[in-house]
Structure 1
Amino acid sequence: MYKILIIAGEPSGDNLGSKLIKEMKIQFDEEVDQKNSQNKKLLFQGIGGPKMQNEGFVCLYKIEELSIMGFFDVFKSLRKIYSIIFAISNYTKAWKPDLIITIDSPDFCFRLVNKIRKIDKFVPIIHYVAPSVWAWRPKRAKQMSLLYDKVLALLPFEKPYFEKYGLSCDFVGHPISKLSIPLDSERENFFKTMEIDNSNKIITILPGSRKSEIKSLLPIYLKLIENLSIQFNNISFVIPIPENISNYMRPTLNVYKTRIKILSESKMGVDKFDSLKFSLFKFSTLAINTSGSVSLELARAGTPMVSIYKCGWLFEKIIKSFVKLKSANLINIILKKKVIPEFLFEKCKVLAIESSVKDLLSNPSLQKEQKDAFDKVIKLISTDESKQSEKAAKISIQYLKEEIL
């Protein structure tokens, strides 16, 4: 039995983790068959979510306990965070994993790994999803070189930032680049499933996956919906709600249920939710989204977008002090030019966002400009591998190879 500790602190990490676990089991079984080994299995434990659990992952703590963002949110949760770090590091000492993989959530993961390294200097540790050291806090790359054996990067330009400190980094590609796009012929069935008039346009609303983001941005989204509903009677607004924020959002959204369609993971389950969510992106005229990795999902679906971001005043000051980039949308960052309209911090005003949305709705050339940019970005974040998770799993399995052989 080979023991692998995985730490995933956010829904996106749960998604990556589930695919990684599935692919590692496939590749490991192939290795075992080739070597005629007996009773060789992989056991995965740690921090994760429902998708990882569906792959047989044993969850010691759930991602909901770590899905925080913002200075005050972190400050208020410090006791809880450090109690989890203490518990997991002690568990690691007793369990003695053969491999540790941390996924995203760098601030939490680095603190945990720092604690684990004091207990075990030799266990191989991989970090999956390179932190954005090219945007802010570049010293994290050097810090990681003292803690990790390998970094798996999702973006092609990230390798040099870690390799200059002697930390091995492999570009594995972004999983979004391999997502299957729904066919145009599926549109009518999707509208029927969602109970939306086939002649309507859809605007997808994506307020974020963290409670602190939603607290700052949901009032802005709701005001936008109210204003646009008055001006357009042929637009349907849809909000997909992941399970980890369902209880937080639903009471507020229920007040607006005559204007907003809700796609709920907690009601339909993970697989159906993911499938319908990507169909939603594909068949939306445009999306208004909180800046984050969802921008790449929208790009893969070919959905024009307007991005916004706002947070608490102190966290905003901290971000502005450290962040070197003027853009928060990954499309703009990767292409090094502004293609996607962005409204960040003090510019995140309802009327300004509303004006940009109306421009995008009425101007096909603006929509085409974005879609052309999406094609370029998807090519840049792709690899030759058939699946990004295959490459990540192959690299991870290498750290178990000696024991397998």
Structure 2
Amino acid sequence: MSAPHVFLVAAERSGDLLGAGLARELRSLTADKVRLSGIGGTAMAEQGIESAISIDGLSILGWIDGLKAYSRVKQAVSEAVDAILTAKPDVVVLIDSWGFTLRVAQGVRAADPAIRLVKYVGPQVFATRPGRAATLAASVDELLTILSFDAPYYEAHGLPVTFVGNPTLERLPRGNGAAFRTRHGITADEAVLVVLPGSRPSEIRRMMPPVVEALKRLTRDHADLRLVLPVADPVAGQVDAAIAVHPVLQSAIRVGETEKADAFASADLALACSGTVVTELATAGVPTITGYKLGWITWGLVRAFNLLKTPHISLVNIAADARLVPEIIQLKCTGKVLADEVERLLDDPVRRAELSVRLQAVTSEMRGSGQASRRAAEAVLAGLD
């Protein structure tokens, strides 16, 4: 039997990391007797998968950003479909990035129905736009979900669902906070605030102004506060441009993703753009304030059509059914409000300790039996059998 050929598709950083973990486990399970190709970023490249097309400009969120990038996305979809049809894989795994991967799936399905299509991470239909479940069921053969409560929404439309768990909860190694503090000259009596303004260009654009204003207020009132700025690779240029013009960011300790685990372990609390990183922080037990701002037209549509069906936006809060992570959204997401929320926790070490324990307990339940990437790889190979 020839080696199975698996083609992975990821269009942004979070999917790139999921793809890298999946690639690693596919090789392990097959004793490296698997052909891997795909579309992705630096994490997948480190696993030996050279991207068939560039994913620059595909990390998009919101209606307006989608419209602005329409021609780029349309071109990338066409290039991705052509690359897949040329490669003729046994299975294509389409990772996260709903709009882009859906169109790729539909293009491949129309051209060659024999290629098996697997979606890895579905849209959060429990929170908004439940009609996407039917759309996905008509476009792919199987869904690998990272959420234990996803299955009924999709199975109702005839789509087989395999719960594999959330690799985010296993990805971040246990960091060495003491070593990080020593390495960067942070004393024991200084408080560390980890600042993460986003991993998409649109997030940096919208979140950086209120984050900068919050940091100005916090550093003015707390001389013993040290700022740590872990920077995601896809937005490093944007963040560095912001550092160049904002003195408060110049006072921060800027680190790359290789130091992220140590930075989290050193932290007393965090200020973060809502997203995967909030779950990572919770796994590390870091009390966090999260904020988010959509484009105004997107936000108007969300409000006008009541598209948000859950009282929380953070997976940790959804899983706990409690606001363990304060969520500061849209109009409320100002520098003053963010600073006030951070200060409230900064001045309450007892509350921070309680939150740290609860966050780790919730993410432990979300993790389940662990080895999510391996279970995803097993599911992909089982589908080929």
What is the TM-score of this pair, normalised by structure 2? 0.93
Out of 203, 207, 226, the position equivalent to 1:236 is 226
Secondary structure at the aligned position of 2:35 is classed as strand
Instruction: Report the equivalent of 1:286.
Output: 269
Out of 28, 31, 44, the position equivalent to 2:30 is 28
1:298 aligns with 2:281: yes
Whole-angstrom CA distance in 2 between matches of 1:198 and 1:370: 21
1:145 aligns with 2:137: yes
The answer on whether the counterparts of 1:28 and 1:397 sit within 8 Å (CA) in structure 2 is no
The answer on whether the counterparts of 1:153 and 1:173 sit within 8 Å (CA) in structure 2 is yes
| AA aligned opposite 1:231 | D
How many angstroms does 1:335 deviate by?
1.5
Out of 217, 241, 248, the position equivalent to 1:251 is 241
How many angstroms does 1:157 deviate by?
1.0
| 1:163-208 C-alpha deviation (Å, 9 max, x unpaired) | 111111111111133346536xx33321122333343111011111
Residue pairs, 1:87-126, within 5 angstroms: 87-126=79-118
Choose 297-306 or 358-367, whichever is displaced more.
358-367
How many angstroms does 1:251 deviate by?
1.6
The answer on whether the counterparts of 1:339 and 1:369 sit within 8 Å (CA) in structure 2 is no
Secondary structure at the aligned position of 2:89 is classed as coil
The answer on whether the counterparts of 2:177 and 2:264 sit within 8 Å (CA) in structure 1 is no
The answer on whether the counterparts of 1:179 and 1:300 sit within 8 Å (CA) in structure 2 is no
1:84 aligns with 2:76: yes
Instruction: Report the equivalent of 1:154.
Output: 146
Instruction: Report the equivalent of 1:375.
Output: 360
The answer on whether the counterparts of 1:208 and 1:289 sit within 8 Å (CA) in structure 2 is yes
Secondary structure at the aligned position of 2:56 is classed as helix
Whole-angstrom CA distance in 2 between matches of 1:167 and 1:67: 26
| 1:341-393 C-alpha deviation (Å, 9 max, x unpaired) | 111111112222211111111113322342233133223212324x1111111
Instruction: Report the equivalent of 2:193.
Output: 203
1:330 aligns with 2:315: yes
Secondary structure at the aligned position of 2:16 is classed as helix
Instruction: Report the equivalent of 1:395.
Output: 379
| 1:50-89 C-alpha deviation (Å, 9 max, x unpaired) | 1111111020123333112232221111111111111221
How many angstroms does 1:154 deviate by?
0.9
Gaps of 5+ in 2: none
Out of 364, 369, 372, the position equivalent to 1:384 is 369
Whole-angstrom CA distance in 2 between matches of 1:238 and 1:68: 26
| AA aligned opposite 1:240 | P
The answer on whether the counterparts of 1:181 and 1:282 sit within 8 Å (CA) in structure 2 is no
Out of 358, 380, 403, the position equivalent to 2:343 is 358
Residue pairs, 1:302-317, within 5 angstroms: 302-317=285-300
Choose 126-135 or 66-75, whichever is displaced more.
66-75
Choose 318-327 or 302-311, whichever is displaced more.
318-327
Whole-angstrom CA distance in 1 between matches of 2:154 and 2:338: 37
Distance 1:209 1:51, change over 3 A: same
What is the TM-score of this pair, normalised by structure 1? 0.89
Alignment RMSD, CA only?
1.8
Whole-angstrom CA distance in 1 between matches of 2:171 and 2:5: 30
| AA aligned opposite 2:70 | L
Whole-angstrom CA distance in 2 between matches of 1:18 and 1:49: 9
Distance 1:198 1:64, change over 3 A: farther
Secondary structure at the aligned position of 1:83 is classed as helix
| AA aligned opposite 1:176 | T
| AA aligned opposite 2:89 | P
| 1:116-169 C-alpha deviation (Å, 9 max, x unpaired) | 110111211111112101001111111111111111111111111111111111
Percent of aligned positions that are identical: 28
Whole-angstrom CA distance in 2 between matches of 1:180 and 1:336: 24
Secondary structure at the aligned position of 1:338 is classed as coil
| AA aligned opposite 2:379 | I
Whole-angstrom CA distance in 2 between matches of 1:225 and 1:9: 31
The answer on whether the counterparts of 2:10 and 2:19 sit within 8 Å (CA) in structure 1 is yes
Secondary structure at the aligned position of 2:339 is classed as helix
Secondary structure at the aligned position of 1:318 is classed as helix
Instruction: Report the equivalent of 1:346.
Output: 331
4+ residue segments displaced more than 6 Å: none
Instruction: Count how many residue pairs are aligned between Structure 1 and Structure 2.
Output: 379
| AA aligned opposite 1:308 | G
Secondary structure at the aligned position of 1:151 is classed as strand
Whole-angstrom CA distance in 2 between matches of 1:120 and 1:148: 12
Gaps of 5+ in 1: 31-40, 265-272
Whole-angstrom CA distance in 2 between matches of 1:142 and 1:71: 21
Whole-angstrom CA distance in 1 between matches of 2:265 and 2:130: 36
Secondary structure at the aligned position of 2:291 is classed as strand
Whole-angstrom CA distance in 1 between matches of 2:94 and 2:282: 26
| 1:282-332 C-alpha deviation (Å, 9 max, x unpaired) | 210100111112111011100001111112211211233322123212221
Whole-angstrom CA distance in 2 between matches of 1:180 and 1:146: 35
| AA aligned opposite 1:243 | D
